[in-house]
């Protein structure tokens, strides 16, 4: 990913939230130069495309690499991009598009997310945030007259009459995923855009055999403990959705073939027209008309105004390692806050997964969640608290609570979101890396007639009470647990990681970093060992730990609960000396896949 531009790395001093580029109107709305021009030190001209449609990013040969992600079909799409001479960014884009088809209620054109990209040629990291943003028709009190109360055990999840904040047109925000993928490809990609979309198009038309985990999701008919409306209810929200995701009115079964022709046609338009067709062209016009007709919150003007945010990632250090992740309203700062708390203790001297280790890490997590409830919101609308959250001095102050085995008095119950998200990690032989998390939230059940994709339900995670950090405002992004991360040792990447699983994402990412740095685990070991999570009054343990440690932890005065699995991680390990790439697909939940090229 070398560039023919001058190296304009940021000057010394704070630059974390200095946005380095925003998109201009037109087909190239989300195009910019290569990473070498990122940072407040200067902006470069937009990259142009070659005759075959590939951006002129001057990338050196990065053939060969690795893709780790949810679903073997999506992994193979990413590996195919590498085999055709693409780099880690090309692989990430191809994988993400294919996940639209294989996990249609977890990610897609109607979704949002974040990514962190490391450019080996400039030795720089960049964050690209493509959060969903509340439409211009959304107001702070939009749900007030229908508000029935807080869902038990969740500080920012509220029961609204008719569940209109999580299903239907009033639950949807302006999407960001296509803008984010286009931005990443325009800056760092090497293969033609249409080539990267093509595997997803082919899969949409040809269909795929429904795996057991997806089939089980199709049959869900009961509301989750955290208030998520069941799939069978959501899928019947619109006729267009029911036609695709029900088979003559009944849920699809494992082994049956799911074909999504409308989605295939939509992706063909995106392959030809790029992001512009979604935000200003034919698809945008159809979206705007549909939402106006059905009382939705987003408009054509919202689509036209949408741009992803590109900036220097949030940066922290942990035992001599550099950690790069996303900014608020994502959770990268919270991951760093937990690591800062742990840095004051001899974690490598503890036995992994024993009671002392579990309690120490859990207490660091719960302290960070207390800060989350107090501070987290969209920094475009609130005073940005990131400097407080990532402060080493603040971590030293908070360790007093850990040492006294106490908690501040303002703990609010807030169980995690469901795992309706997907993550992928890629790396190539040149050392370029991508950690990308994208999602639909828990999906709204809305499908615009003829477009084939399911819309997000981001409004569900906003606080419907005005005046709070995470309250509703037009153009605002709600908080999210998404926290893709890249870890460097001695200036060289050693870990690319991220997860699916709502607020459990950030804890799982922190687990993986600690497992790698403190215990020397491989990527596969780091994602496979049992995890635990503490964000409200219960310390949740995966079954292996729960049955082994329940009595001992209760003897320490902790309330514990058994949890089937804590998030789903996908990581890549990189050996800084040899360049060897190893995959860490998570065996939990849907399972993951890992494949190499070259």
As annotated, the active-site residues are: 421
Neighbour tally for 232: CB within 10 Å: 17
Q: Do 176 and 477 contact (CB within 8 A), yes or no?
A: no
Per DSSP bridges, beta strands 539-541 and 560-562 are parallel
Whether the Cβ atoms of residue 537 and residue 411 lie closer than 8 Å to each other: yes
In terms of Cα–Cα distance, which of 35, 28, 22 is closest to 189?
Answer: 35
Is 390 within 8 Å of 314 (Cβ atoms)? Answer: yes
C-alpha to C-alpha distance for 165 and 580, rounded to whole angstroms: 46
- Strands 158-160, 147-150: pairing is antiparallel
User: Distance between CA atoms of 492 and 272, rounded to whole angstroms?
Assistant: 37
Q: Is 372 exposed, middle or buried (0-12, 13-18, 19+ CB in 10 A)?
A: buried
Torsions phi, psi for 150 (to 5 deg): -70, 135
Q: Are 338 and 60 in contact (CB under 8 A)?
A: no
The span from the CA of 31 to the CA of 187, in Å, is: 7
Instruction: Point out which residues pair with 155 in neighbouring strands.
Output: none
Phi, psi of 428 (to 5 degrees): -120, 175
- The answer to whether the CB of 62 falls within 8 A of the CB of 87 is yes
Instruction: Kindly calculate the radius of gyration of the chain based on its CA atoms and give it in whole angstroms.
Output: 22
DSSP helix, strand, coil percent of the chain (3-state; round to 5): 35, 20, 45
CA dihedral (364, 366, 370, 373) positive or negative: positive
Euclidean distance between CA atoms 232 and 161, whole angstroms = 18
End-to-end CA distance of the chain: 18
Report CA-CA distances (Å) from 243 to 102, 151, 283: 17, 31, 20
User: What CA–CA distance (Å, rounded) separates 302 from 174?
Assistant: 7
148: how many CB neighbours lie within 10 A of its CB?
A: 12
Taking Cα atoms as reference points, which of 484, 506, 504 lies closest to residue 435? 484
Contact partners, residue 118, CB within 8 Å, separation at least 6: 124, 125, 324, 431, 432, 433, 434, 486, 488, 493, 496
Distance of CA 167 to the CA centre of its chain: 21
DSSP state of 465: S
């Amino acid at each position: 990913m070398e560039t023919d531009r001058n190296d304009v790395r940021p000057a010394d001093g704070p630059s974390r939230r200095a946005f380095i580029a925003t998109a201009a109107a037109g087909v190239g709305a989300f195009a910019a130069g290569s990473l070498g021009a990122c940072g407040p030190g200067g902006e470069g001209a937009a990259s142009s495309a070659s005759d075959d449609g590939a951006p002129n990013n001057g990338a050196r040969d990065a053939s060969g690499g690795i893709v780790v992600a949810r679903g073997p079909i999506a992994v193979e799409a990413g590996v195919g991009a590498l085999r055709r001479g693409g780099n880690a960014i090309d692989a990430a884009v191809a994988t993400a598009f294919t996940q639209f088809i294989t996990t249609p209620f977890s990610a897609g054109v109607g979704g949002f997310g974040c990514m962190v990209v490391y450019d080996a040629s400039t030795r720089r990291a960049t964050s690209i945030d493509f959060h969903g943003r509340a439409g211009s028709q959304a107001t702070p009190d939009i749900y007030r007259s229908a508000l029935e109360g807080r869902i038990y055990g969740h500080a920012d999840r509220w029961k609204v009459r008719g569940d209109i904040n999580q299903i239907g047109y009033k639950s949807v925000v302006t999407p960001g995923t296509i803008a984010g993928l286009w931005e990443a490809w325009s800056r760092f990609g090497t293969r033609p855009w249409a080539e990267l979309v093509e595997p997803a198009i082919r899969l949409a038309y040809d269909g795929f055999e429904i795996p057991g985990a997806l089939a089980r999701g199709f049959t869900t008919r009961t509301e989750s403990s955290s208030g998520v409306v069941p799939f069978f209810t959501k899928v019947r929200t619109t006729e267009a959705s029911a036609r695709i995701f029900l088979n003559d009115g009944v849920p699809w079964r494992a082994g049956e073939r799911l074909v999504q022709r409308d989605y295939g046609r939509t992706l063909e338009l995106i392959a030809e027209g790029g992001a512009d067709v979604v935000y200003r062209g034919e698809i945008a016009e159809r979206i705007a008309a549909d939402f106006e007709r059905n009382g939705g919150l987003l408009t054509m003007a919202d689509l036209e105004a949408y741009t992803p945010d590109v900036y220097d990632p949030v940066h922290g250090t942990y035992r001599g390692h550099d950690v790069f992740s996303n900014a608020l309203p994502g959770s990268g700062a919270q991951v760093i806050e937990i690591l800062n708390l742990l840095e004051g203790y001899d974690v490598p001297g503890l036995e992994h997964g024993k009671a002392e280790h579990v309690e120490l890490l859990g207490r660091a997590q719960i302290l960070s969640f207390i800060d989350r409830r107090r501070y987290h919101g969209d920094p475009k609308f609130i005073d940005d608290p990131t400097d407080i959250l990532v402060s080493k001095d603040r971590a030293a102050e908070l360790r007093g609570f850990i040492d006294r085995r106490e908690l501040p008095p303002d703990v609010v119950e807030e169980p995690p979101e469901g795992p309706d998200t997907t993550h992928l990690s890629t790396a190539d032989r040149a050392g370029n890396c991508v950690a990308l998390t994208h999602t639909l939230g828990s999906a709204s059940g809305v499908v615009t007639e003829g477009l084939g994709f399911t819309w997000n339900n981001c409004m569900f995670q906003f606080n419907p009470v005005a005046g709070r950090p995470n309250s509703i405002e037009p153009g605002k992004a709600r908080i999210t647990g998404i926290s893709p991360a890249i870890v460097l040792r001695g200036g060289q990447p050693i870990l690319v990681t991220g997860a699916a699983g709502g607020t459990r994402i950030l804890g799982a990412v922190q687990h993986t970093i600690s497992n790698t740095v403190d215990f020397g685990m491989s990527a596969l070991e780091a994602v496979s060992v049992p995890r635990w999570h503490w964000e409200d009054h219960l310390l949740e343990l995966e079954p292996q730990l729960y049955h082994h440690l329940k009595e001992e932890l209760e003897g320490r005065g902790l309330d514990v609960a058994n949890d089937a699995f804590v998030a789903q991680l996908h990581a890549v390990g990189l050996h800084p000396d040899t360049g060897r790439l190893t995959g860490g697909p998570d065996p939990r939940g849907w399972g993951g896949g890992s494949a190499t090229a070259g």
